[in-house]
Chain A
């Protein structure tokens, strides 16, 4: 298909507003009479609250409303997928859990008021380690026990016993990943205002409609009495799905005070109060033939959920062992456990980068032990069907691996581990493969063709930083045959825009994008019907392109879209509601990543030198924003691989480094050139052939860097993050 807009690198339609500071983010919202909220958080990882005295805080001039578990029994339903979670719980289950909230005339008074709230705690025994949380006699965090829903996640295909019997060699090892935080630029923030019985919340959310549904459910309001607005967002990465507790708290404070309330988390609160990526312990056993053919894979895994199971979909899962290889015999059992630490929830490809770190590190290790080039091991075994049965809609893993190898110079650069030295640096190269499903559904859109031919595109998306506004506009412009400038997108307001599941699950381009095309098709049909009457030609004989409707093959016999639309005082409206789910096929986005590192032989200093990320995401609608997503995914993965971890003090259960500085999110100076590469083959089910992208691109990155470090040093680090001290200790 020949496109005029799709596939062209296109700057963001809202880029100017974003970089000039004119874009109004949630934190910029000011409403006359607005109060400021602050949250008091538990200093204990597990404690029963015996009493709360708020009299002192209430007496502080400027304080307008105080909420605690004593006067608020509102549930936060999206805060836990299997237990009742209230806004203020008793007992509290992690250090940082909200205990009370204050609204005051400014945030400093609100903060002073927090100091005046007297909470009497009865500290309870606590447990930080997921595996130990399942031991008999471990402190019980929920009445149903510490194992999420009382049973592990099980998956099995083939017969692993048979597979191990067929194996010529069997390897076993354990890999460990740590709790890391989404760390998006914009801290979570909410502004709530009531007018009559209607609540408006300016949220920083990845899904306005889900946020609205949660608020309505938890506050007992009909959907049409809740409006959620989010026009600009500074990143979410899964951390801003659904309604957060602060959205509800802001709404309740505003209701109680009778004035609008802004509640903005500090960076520390944003780190220690909401959720991060679940930490895992992964015990693998892999059977293999000497030629590298995999015969069996088993995984026994443990993951830490924190005090509540916040992820809406299989929290604590560990992906990779089941998905990456066409090994016929696979068995995984994963035990998600409650712990007294910050919750784990969705974070960019929730179960994948940590799981793939384990699987792909281990495959790299096995290739080394077999004396096989790790790239060849992948080419020999990579997945060719979903769960061993479902054919993929498209799968360019092999092309991705070969293209990446060519670009990084694998043949020339790969060597036996620890054997290439450019004194005093050891050089290493590594690779890993990854994937992420493209199947979180439902999208809706409306297209209005105005009387002057200009177009309003209404889409329920929030542009969380991915460039969704731009991509949706490009799809509409392409479908309607108009220049991009003719399309004005309206998004991020539940009173105005149609439904979207939320900008998560790598779904926006695929699903809302398809809805945009359907809405355009609907509008096009209506335009053609009108034109048909005007031209006195059968509608089937007409086509619409370059802003004109004309008889097929005869552009001169036609009229402009403006003339057709101008027949109506307002607009011709087209609508699309799409849920493209395919049962009989698997739809995945694939990735093959390659990294070069150098490691100082004396000091263990690790430096990332070069990175090539090859993605199979079908047709790329906007290479510019798509490239940005890939670079961002790799940076997050590199950070998780090399430095990041939220560290808890074991004696007190308090997080020690809840901030950018100490949790060590990588900086620009740590990031080398990252080359995003797209191998494109249109997916038969996506809009113009698109598949998902935003999450597939982080999935192999952690393993890829770990493998490059192994190739440089010969040291296999099995516990994240792969910090310099660990290299030093292993070397000495």
Chain B
């Protein structure tokens, strides 16, 4: 790791102004579970670290009708255990409980989880100068791509690593972003960028911007939620495919479906085709299968990840039938 200076920010504005002043030489740090890894591998060599955990208002969870405001510094462990989250948004608590490992959940924050850099081994490997690091090659394209994207990939084939993102997108969350002397709130779904939109970053944050809060609307009382995460290890593993689904049901009829997948695309992937299939339909096994087929109709698997297509289909069907 390269040596660096550090400052403990006392407010979001102070942090934003430091970012504006130092540009890419400065990095924000909260839990550090992502950043320190990149620094140890010298993939990032910031000269200044701006600590966010010293900002008091950024770690709170509060009710704000009709929904919740979750501070970006809330740890995954807090999401997993907080009574308000457990009662009102059990989906979020469940998703958080399956992220990484207890040690990482104790350190890792919601904001950091959403802003994680890819865990593609070519990106993380210091010897590969890949597209995301300003190079000219995606090594995964013809390389070891078992864990890479089957949808929306190219020219970079990363998958977005955040589990929290798919649940929050499925819930229709918004993200509050503060920059130096400015702020904006955008739907979380519009927060993420595909490689075709920008190769060097995964979201819309400008150099001086910070995620400060997530606003989660109260779901409709008929909404049934399902979360499934397939991974090779039961702890400390990213999703090969994950699914967060919210189906508004009346009896066996689905009025509205919100289905978002992880592990398949460079951003949280909304399975809009599957949602359309289900809307207004009576749910049964055949309908589950139909939705699954629709969701993967535009897949472009790579050499080693065709299994993800089957897995995504299996999970969509499983999730749809789970609401019955």
Give the B-binding residues of A (Cβ under 8 A). Answer: 43, 95, 108, 111-112, 115, 266, 268, 602-605, 642-643, 647, 649-652, 654, 656-657, 661-662, 664, 666-670, 723-726, 728-729, 731-732
Provide the residues of chain B in CB contact with A603, threshold 8 Å. 230, 311, 314-315, 318
CB distance A723 to B235 under 8 Å?
A: no
Interface positions, chain B 276-324, Cβ under 8 Å from A, are: 305-308, 310-311, 314-315, 317-318
CB distance B2 to A654 under 8 Å?
A: no
Given contacts A724-B240, A729-B306, contact A666 B233 (CB under 8 A): yes
A668 to B103, CA, bound (A): 13
A402 to B236, CA, bound (A): 37
Contact of B233 among A268, A643, A728, A732 (CB under 8 A): A643
Given contacts A666-B233, A669-B234, A725-B307, contact A602 B314 (CB under 8 A): yes
Provide the residues of chain A in CB contact with B41, threshold 8 Å. 268
CB distance B121 to A732 under 8 Å?
A: no
CB distance A651 to B139 under 8 Å?
A: yes
Contact of B230 among A666, A667, A724, A726 (CB under 8 A): A724
Given contacts A649-B143, A724-B240, A732-B310, contact A654 B127 (CB under 8 A): yes
Of A602, A605, A725, A728, which is in contact with the most chain B CB atoms at under 10 Å from its CB? A725
A-B interface contact total, Cβ < 8 Å: 87
CB distance A651 to B143 under 8 Å?
A: yes
Q: How far is the CB of A643 from chain B (nearest CB, A)?
A: 5
CB distance B318 to A728 under 8 Å?
A: no
A662 to B125, CA, bound (A): 11
Number of interface residues of B (CB under 8 A): 35
Provide the residues of chain B in CB contact with A725, threshold 8 Å. 146, 240, 305, 307-308, 311
A732 to B314, CA, bound (A): 11
Given contacts A108-B3, A657-B121, A667-B101, contact A729 B232 (CB under 8 A): no
Task: Select from chain B the residue with minimum beta-carbon distance to A267.
Answer: B40
Given contacts A603-B315, A661-B236, A664-B233, contact A647 B144 (CB under 8 A): yes
CB distance B127 to A670 under 8 Å?
A: no
Asked whether any CB of chain A lies closer than 8 Å to the CB of B1, the reply is yes
Given contacts A602-B317, A605-B230, A664-B232, contact A108 B128 (CB under 8 A): no
Q: How far is the CB of B132 from chain A (nearest CB, A)?
A: 15
| The 4 residue pairs across chains A and B that have the minimum distance between CB atoms | A669-B234, A725-B307, A667-B235, A728-B307
Interface positions, chain B 232-260, Cβ under 8 Å from A, are: 232-237, 240
Asked whether any CB of chain A lies closer than 8 Å to the CB of B227, the reply is no
Asked whether any CB of chain A lies closer than 8 Å to the CB of B269, the reply is no
Provide the residues of chain B in CB contact with A662, threshold 8 Å. 121
Q: How far is the CB of A717 from chain B (nearest CB, A)?
A: 13
Asked whether any CB of chain A lies closer than 8 Å to the CB of B87, the reply is no
Prevailing SS type, chain B contact patch: loop
Task: Select from chain A the residue with minimum beta-carbon distance to B124.
Answer: A662
A112 to B3, CA, bound (A): 9
Task: Select from chain B the residue with minimum beta-carbon distance to A114.
Answer: B42
Provide the residues of chain A in CB contact with B310, threshold 8 Å. 728-729, 731-732
Supply 16 further A-B pairs (C-beta < 8 A) apart from A108-B2, A725-B240: A111-B1, A602-B314, A602-B318, A605-B230, A651-B142, A652-B128, A656-B125, A657-B121, A667-B236, A669-B234, A724-B307, A725-B305, A728-B307, A728-B311, A728-B314, A731-B310
Provide the residues of chain B in CB contact with A731, threshold 8 Å. 310
Given contacts A602-B318, A669-B234, contact A112 B143 (CB under 8 A): no
Provide the residues of chain B in CB contact with A602, threshold 8 Å. 314, 317-318
Contact of A112 among B2, B101, B122, B142 (CB under 8 A): B2
Q: How far is the CB of A642 from chain B (nearest CB, A)?
A: 8
The 17 listed contacts between A and B (C-beta, < 8 Å) are: A112-B2, A268-B41, A603-B314, A642-B232, A649-B128, A652-B127, A652-B128, A654-B125, A656-B144, A662-B121, A664-B237, A666-B233, A667-B101, A668-B235, A669-B235, A670-B234, A724-B311
CB distance A643 to B232 under 8 Å?
A: yes
Provide the residues of chain A in CB contact with B306, threshold 8 Å. 729
A657 to B143, CA, bound (A): 13
Task: Select from chain A the residue with minimum beta-carbon distance to B40.
Answer: A266
A426 to B305, CA, bound (A): 24
A231 to B109, CA, bound (A): 40
Q: How far is the CB of A705 from chain B (nearest CB, A)?
A: 14
Task: Select from chain B the residue with minimum beta-carbon distance to A642.
Answer: B232
Contact of A656 among B1, B122, B305 (CB under 8 A): B122
Contact of B235 among A95, A115, A268, A670 (CB under 8 A): A670
A731 to B146, CA, bound (A): 17
Q: How far is the CB of B136 from chain A (nearest CB, A)?
A: 14
Q: How far is the CB of B124 from chain A (nearest CB, A)?
A: 8
Q: How far is the CB of B276 from chain A (nearest CB, A)?
A: 23
A697 to B139, CA, bound (A): 40
Interface 0/1 of B1-19, CB less than 8 Å to A: 1110000000000000000
Q: How far is the CB of B140 from chain A (nearest CB, A)?
A: 9
CB distance B3 to A43 under 8 Å?
A: no
Interface 0/1 of B134-152, CB less than 8 Å to A: 0000010011101000000
Interface positions, chain B 89-133, Cβ under 8 Å from A, are: 101, 121-122, 125, 127-128
CB distance B233 to A649 under 8 Å?
A: no
Q: How far is the CB of B80 from chain A (nearest CB, A)?
A: 15
A111 to B1, CA, bound (A): 8
A345 to B233, CA, bound (A): 27
Q: How far is the CB of B228 from chain A (nearest CB, A)?
A: 8
Q: How far is the CB of A598 from chain B (nearest CB, A)?
A: 13
Interface 0/1 of B52-78, CB less than 8 Å to A: 000000000000000000000000000
Provide the residues of chain A in CB contact with B42, threshold 8 Å. 115
A115 to B41, CA, bound (A): 12
Provide the residues of chain A in CB contact with B236, threshold 8 Å. 661, 667
Interface 0/1 of B215-235, CB less than 8 Å to A: 000000000000000101111
Contact of B234 among A115, A647, A667, A729 (CB under 8 A): A667
Task: Select from chain A the residue with minimum beta-carbon distance to B318.
Answer: A602
Provide the residues of chain B in CB contact with A43, threshold 8 Å. 127
Q: How far is the CB of A602 from chain B (nearest CB, A)?
A: 4
Provide the residues of chain A in CB contact with B317, threshold 8 Å. 602
Provide the residues of chain A in CB contact with B2, threshold 8 Å. 108, 112
Provide the residues of chain A in CB contact with B240, threshold 8 Å. 724-725
CB distance A649 to B307 under 8 Å?
A: no
A200 to B41, CA, bound (A): 32
Contact of B139 among A115, A266, A649 (CB under 8 A): A649
Task: Select from chain B the residue with minimum beta-carbon distance to A732.
Answer: B310
A605 to B311, CA, bound (A): 10
